[in-house]
Amino acid sequence: MELGRMSGMTRQREKEFAKLGITDTAGLVRYFPRTYLDMTCRVSVREVFHNDMALLPCRIVAVEPVRYTGRVKYVRARLEQNGDRFFAIWFNMPYLANRLKEGEYLFYGRVRNQYGQISLLNPTFEPLDARNSRLKGLMPVYSLKGMLTQRTIRAAVAAALRIQPIETIIPSELCRKYALASLGEAYRRVHAPETREQLDAASERIALEEYFSLISAFKLIKGGKDEARVRRYRVTEGEVAEFIRRFGFAFTPGQQAAVRAIYDNLKGPSVMNRLLQGDVGSGKTAVAFTGIFMAVKSGYQAVYLSPTEVLAEQNLALLKKIFPDYRVGFLSGGSKAREKQEVKEALAAGQIDILCGTHAVLQGDVRFADLAFCVCDEQHRFGVSQRSTLAEKGRAPDLLVMSATPIPRTLSLIFYGDLDVTTIPDKPKERQEISTSIIPAHKYDDMLDYIRRETKTGKQAYFVCAKIDDDEGQITSVTELFEELRGRMPDVRFALLHGRMKDREKAEIMEAFKRGQYDCLVSTTVIEVGIDVPAATIMVVCNAERYGLSQLHQLRGRVGRGSEKSYCFLLIGTESETAIERLNVLRHTTDGFALAEKDLELRGSGDFFGTRQSGKFLSDIRNLRYSTQAIFLAKKLSDEAFERRLNYEAIVSAATEKYESLKDVVLN
């Protein structure tokens, strides 16, 4: 129902709701509270921290006359609780001076505790013995715009809940089997919970419904049928074990399990579509090379696709080292026209066993003689359609996509629902821990002095900035920092690297840095993945508070690759409590998957993947607290519903309508 048809909904109020993107009752009931005022627990003022919201029973000792600060009027009451004295202050409410009397009251508001002075700012209050207390339970708090108030939204939502039909698309048979609560009741409890337990249960139920729809939509978009295998791999387990010895180190249990999963897949009846993910330094590349060996040893071709030319050339060098007895070709946008043509001809004639390259590999005139195994490195840089283009260059080839950005298992179930997910949970034993420090502005000079001393001993450093040009904003640009550092440390050799440079130029700078021709590399996040310089022991991230934890973890992983102790310095532009608290998580955690889960919790799924990747789905349930079990159960329910075709037409209809906008996001 349109909002204008609701009883009591004025034209002006309808316009105000439109500013929130709400035009009907369905949108209104899905406008979930951003938080709740918890008035279930009365506390002592001694237990409350600065800036906390608190429910305080106390006595008004005296009420002072109305005072002025500039043009603002304020009323101040002296309060007492168990011998502790403090104040309640109300701004622009002079009438309270006559309403407040001495006696016992219940106050709810934000506590300020600065320099030993405690006060309550604009608290809500009522007599302690009030019969119809408003200060109880959990009160929803909504995001506001325009002239809307909390009271207006609460009343409108309550009215919408009485008239808006709320029906689940999860088959009734599955609802009974798994004892799922009513979806309509869950909506009512989320907007008007009586207890925290009610709120948590309702949030779980709504999240379950949303993820069920989402996972079902991804099934429709991506398809779900396993493709039958058309070629037979002749490689043996003994040959694979012999190949692994080429690396010169023992594979971790996680790497061994990943190799086993790939081997079993290639020997099985269906084509492999597998996501391999692992933390920084977990050895994904070695696992991928082992998969490539299984293909070329069986007489087929393989391709290794990298997102950047710098990374592609690095992988080329590794492939030539590990596969000296096989023919390795290279193809990128920066390759000369004659080189490209020669590689394409050799590839089509079967004279190249392994092709390494960038997006240039996806061009229509790149043809293989018998492509069997595809590796797509840094999966989050490529869309599903690009993966499909790569796979179409062979006859039902096996596909291994890799991600160095740890993806919470909950999200991998959704975004990679068409893939089997293999995770390498451990790291090589020789990989050392990296010391991480938060550097405020007043310690910047000390940090530079330390880096100067370190470079004199042959060590190298990265400086990373979030943007390229100086536009007089608050974020340090890479060009601005490059010029500043060269001026301050003329005895240190600096190189500049950013995304607007040509691929060949970037590759040359990176290679020169790796050879030790530069002491410090000032760069944007183009170095985020895959760069391996053992002598680089220092990572400096400027404006670190602007990055997600997962991205900071990736940047930190560019150092610590040699035998020397390595350091990551998080240079912050603001010393806010929130920024410090979030970055402290990175200081004390080296588990990339734990950081990814924390990043998801702090920033939401949209921020985690970026707007382009995730669109706006789930944005309206990000305020709800729910466990990962809701997502696991949603996938189980969706799998069972599709397998048994329960309520199939309704599920397809709802999923298609709700997530039609996902098609472009997923397929491109």
Per the DSSP assignment, residues forming a β-bridge with 76 are: 89
For residue range 29-41, list pLDDT tens digits in order: 999 998 887 777 7
Average pLDDT over residues 389-399: 85
167: amino acid identity, one letter:
E
Pair 184, 205: CB distance under 8 Å = no
> Which among 269, 270, 271, 265 is positioned nearest to 287, based on CA atoms?
265
The most confident of the ranges 243-257, 375-389, 502-516 is 243-257
Look over the chain and give the mean of its residue pLDDT values, rounded to a whole number. 83
Q: What is the DSSP string of 536-551?
A: EEEEEEETGGGS-HHH
110: amino acid identity, one letter:
R
For residue range 108-117, list pLDDT tens digits in order: 888 888 777 8
pLDDT of residue 608: 42
Pair 216, 204: CB distance under 8 Å = no
Query: How much of the chain exceeds pLDDT 90, in percent?
Result: 36
Average pLDDT over residues 142-161: 87
In SS3 terms, 70-132 reads as CCEEEEEEEEEECCEEEEEEEECCCCHHHHCCCEEEEEEEEEEEECCEEEEEEEEEEECCCCC
Q: Worst-scoring range by mean pLDDT, 148-157, 175-184, 206-215, 413-422? A: 413-422
Band the pLDDT of 611: cuts 50, 70, 90. Answer: very low
213 pLDDT above the threshold of 90: no
pLDDT of residue 438: 92
Q: How many Cα atoms are found within 13 Å in the side-chain-facing hemisphere of 342? A: 8
Report the alpha-carbon distance of residue 598 to residue 621 in Å, rounded. Answer: 17
pLDDT of residue 404: 65
Band the pLDDT of 662: cuts 50, 70, 90. Answer: low
272 pLDDT above the threshold of 80: yes
The most confident of the ranges 303-312, 343-352, 396-405 is 343-352
pLDDT of residue 442: 84
Query: Domains along the chain?
Result: 1-40+149-165 (no CATH), 41-135 (2.40.50.140), 167-222+638-668 (no CATH), 237-424 (3.40.50.300), 434-589 (3.40.50.300)
Average pLDDT over residues 100-104: 90
pTM comes to: 0.59
> Which among 116, 129, 175, 138 is positioned nearest to 53, based on CA atoms?
138
For residue range 24-81, list pLDDT tens digits in order: 998 899 999 988 877 777 888 888 877 778 888 999 999 998 888 878 889 999 999 9
pLDDT of residue 262: 95
Rg (Cα) of the chain, in Å, rounded? 30
Average pLDDT over residues 423-428: 74
389: amino acid identity, one letter:
T
Average pLDDT over residues 331-354: 91
Q: Worst-scoring range by mean pLDDT, 78-92, 180-194, 436-450, 641-655? A: 641-655
Band the pLDDT of 6: cuts 50, 70, 90. Answer: confident
Q: Worst-scoring range by mean pLDDT, 75-84, 260-269, 567-576, 597-606? A: 597-606
pLDDT of residue 379: 52
pLDDT of residue 38: 75
384 pLDDT above the threshold of 90: no
617 pLDDT above the threshold of 90: no
Band the pLDDT of 606: cuts 50, 70, 90. Answer: very low
pLDDT of residue 402: 85
505 pLDDT above the threshold of 80: yes
Average pLDDT over residues 175-200: 92
For residue range 287-325, list pLDDT tens digits in order: 999 999 999 999 999 999 988 787 888 889 999 999 999
pLDDT of residue 385: 60
Average pLDDT over residues 202-228: 79
Average pLDDT over residues 86-92: 91
